[in-house]
């Protein structure tokens, strides 16, 4: 066939294949700038968590270790340190602010800078550009991470004020837990502004188009290990995508696997791996959406790592995740059941899925006599012993976290970067205010790659073989789509296209001062550090909930908070120096 073609055309075709431009032509069928953006945050999900999840999901009957969605989508990593005044180890609020605004701030801050001035967020910028916005999380919806994308407050602990400020965000979708913080009067205000209010997961089947506020738990959603087939976060993610997809001008969605962090604070490997599995399922929901909608970008990362998780411990080069697969509930729930069951030894063995020897049963029996919290800690320690899992802290660590991406402009997030870089890259992909995103133009008449080559040939038949080859190679080395990724600041702007890619940080001031700013001192992770020191002296567990206020209050069932408060009082006596332990048992703490 090539013998019948002109020499020039042969040169073009060969140069296209050899230099990769033929593949580039096909790749350029997808838009260079996304219409929709999904940001997914695994709270506390450091690199040890994604590695542990790989081995946890491995099929022992096969020779190879199977890939996970994290292996498949990994593109880079990110540093997570906060503003200088908070040192090197971030909390969730400062990290979420960095990811939402591109600006470093102090621990505890919700999208305000070190001077406590509000900073424009990605969600606010998207809304100004005419896009829809939403959040779907497994914690309370007004927790640190979703709050930093939607509102401003100088302290993450101002949960009620943050909930009230949500009313003015004009967010299209708000899904998660947190009924405790939304009064009936506030819910009625949401309804007056056109929101559907949902309080039961079953109501998702009857959801109507339009804005939705869904609060499905008092604080957090149920632990995935306690309800393994519920797939709450995956379902909320799919509902959010369905709702936001109805918006013609595109959307920005935040999805957070919040409870990975809470399990890490509690040094609970069994619960952590099930929360990882729930988050991985949600990622796959979004990944499938991206496959079906080539104009959608997904970016997945963590805000920090929690617990200092190690895959192996005690100088032994082994890790045994197989023991985790048969555990049927959180250690807290197992402990609670054991207290009420005279035959608790037999029942506990069945629920753990592995045998317990005589010495281990004796230790568990001693812990059982001291109450639910101490028994839950003993069960976690037994699981760590079986799996050879290690932990270094009940708080956060300062290590870098992985970054995953897929879809248009995914290459922007490759390599090492700071968490503020992630935000600024996403800012650069948003339409300018007043220039709403439109559906990317499709190639005219589905012109094939061969037809494009033929057209190029007919446009200039005077090309020689050498000049044609040089031309194709030159185009291949700097294609237009790559220019937008590598040197975004040089991309030209038009009145119809989104703004050029830049790394310029957004202004530190908004047009108006938020009403919720208070004079409360910024929070820190000192409570968790104090708790970690206390933990070394006593067998008390770290927090099952979000933050260090009440490390022994069980929040997988908020109704038990008062019962757990008795244990808290005992811990307070052991560690009176911790200011966090003196707060109300119903007040979630800081991650």
* Residue 77 annotated as catalytic: no
Q: Which of 77, 86, 92, 138 is catalytic?
A: 92
**Angstrom distance (rounded) from CA 443 to CA 449:** 11
Q: Give residue 118's Cα distance to chain centre.
A: 23
User: CB neighbours (10 Å) of residue 67?
Assistant: 10
**Angstrom distance (rounded) from CA 548 to CA 36:** 36
Paired with 299 in beta bridges are 39, 405
Q: Is 215 left (phi over 0), alpha (psi -120 to 50) or beta?
A: beta
**N- to C-terminal Cα separation, the chain:** 66
Q: Are 435 and 129 in contact (CB under 8 A)?
A: yes
Q: Are 146 and 137 in contact (CB under 8 A)?
A: yes
Contacts of 202 (CB under 8 A, 6+ apart): none
What is the CA angle 43-48-50, rounded to 5?
65
What is the CA angle 257-288-21, rounded to 5?
120
Radius of gyration of the chain (CA): 26
Paired with 495 in beta bridges are none
Q: Give residue 551's Cα distance to chain centre.
A: 23
Would you please indicate which residues are annotated as catalytic (active-site) residues? 92
């Amino acid at each position: 066939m090539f013998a019948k073609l002109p020499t020039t055309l042969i040169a073009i075709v060969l140069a296209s294949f050899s230099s990769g431009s033929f593949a580039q032509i096909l790749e350029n069928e997808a838009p260079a700038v996304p219409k929709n953006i999904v940001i997914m945050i695994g709270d506390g999900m450091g690199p040890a968590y994604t590695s542990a999840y790989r081995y946890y999901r491995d099929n022992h009957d096969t020779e190879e270790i199977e890939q996970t969605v994290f292996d498949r989508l990994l593109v880079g990593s990110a540093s997570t340190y906060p503003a200088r005044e908070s040192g090197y180890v971030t909390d969730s609020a400062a990290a979420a602010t960095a990811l939402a605004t591109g600006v470093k701030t102090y621990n505890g801050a919700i999208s305000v800078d070190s001077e406590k001035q509000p900073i424009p967020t990605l969600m606010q910028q998207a809304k100004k550009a005419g896009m829809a916005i939403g959040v779907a999380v497994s914690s309370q919806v007004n927790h640190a991470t979703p709050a930093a994308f939607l509102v401003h407050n100088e302290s993450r602990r101002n949960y009620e004020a943050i909930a009230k400020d949500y009313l003015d965000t004009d967010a299209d979708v708000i899904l998660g837990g947190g009924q405790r913080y939304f009064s009936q009067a506030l819910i009625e205000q949401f309804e007056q502004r056109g929101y559907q209010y949902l309080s039961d997961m079953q109501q998702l089947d009857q959801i109507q188009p339009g804005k939705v506020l869904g609060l499905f738990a008092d604080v957090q959603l149920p632990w995935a290990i306690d309800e393994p087939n519920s797939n709450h976060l995956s379902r909320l993610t799919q509902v959010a995508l369905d709702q936001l997809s109805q918006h013609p001008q595109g959307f920005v969605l935040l999805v957070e696997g919040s409870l990975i962090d809470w399990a890490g604070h509690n040094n609970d490997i069994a619960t952590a791996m099930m929360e990882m599995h729930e988050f991985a399922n949600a990622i796959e929901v979004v990944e499938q959406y991206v496959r079906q909608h080539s104009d959608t970008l997904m970016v997945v990362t963590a805000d920090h790592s929690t617990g200092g998780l190690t895959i192996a411990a005690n100088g032994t080069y082994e890790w045994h995740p197989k023991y985790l697969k048969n555990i049927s509930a959180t250690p807290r729930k197992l402990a609670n059941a054991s207290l009420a069951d005279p035959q608790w030894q037999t029942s506990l063995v069945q629920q753990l899925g592995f045998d317990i020897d005589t010495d281990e049963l004796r230790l568990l029996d001693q812990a059982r006599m001291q109450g639910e919290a101490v028994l839950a800690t003993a069960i976690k320690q037994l699981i760590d012993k079986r799996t050879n899992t290690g932990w270094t802290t009940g708080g956060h660590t300062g290590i870098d976290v992985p970054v995953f991406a897929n879809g248009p402009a995914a290459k922007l997030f490759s390599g090492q970067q700071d968490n503020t870089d992630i935000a600024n890259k996403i800012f650069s992909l948003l339409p300018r205010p007043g220039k709403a995103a439109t559906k990317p133009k499709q190639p005219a008449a589905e012109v094939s790659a061969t037809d494009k080559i033929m057209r190029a040939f007919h446009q200039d038949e005077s090309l020689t073989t050498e000049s044609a080859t040089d031309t194709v190679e030159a185009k291949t080395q700097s294609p237009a789509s790559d220019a937008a990724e590598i040197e975004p600041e040089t991309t030209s702007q038009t009145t119809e296209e989104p703004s050029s890619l830049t790394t310029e940080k957004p202004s530190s001031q908004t047009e108006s001062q938020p009403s919720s700013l208070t004079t409360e001192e910024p929070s820190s992770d000192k409570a968790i550090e104090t708790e970690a020191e206390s933990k070394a002296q006593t067998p008390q567990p770290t927090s099952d909930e979000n933050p260090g206020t009440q490390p022994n209050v069980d929040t997988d069932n908020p109704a038990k908070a008062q019962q757990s408060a008795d244990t808290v009082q005992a811990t307070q006596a052991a560690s009176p120096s911790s200011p966090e332990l003196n707060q109300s048992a119903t007040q979630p703490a800081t991650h």
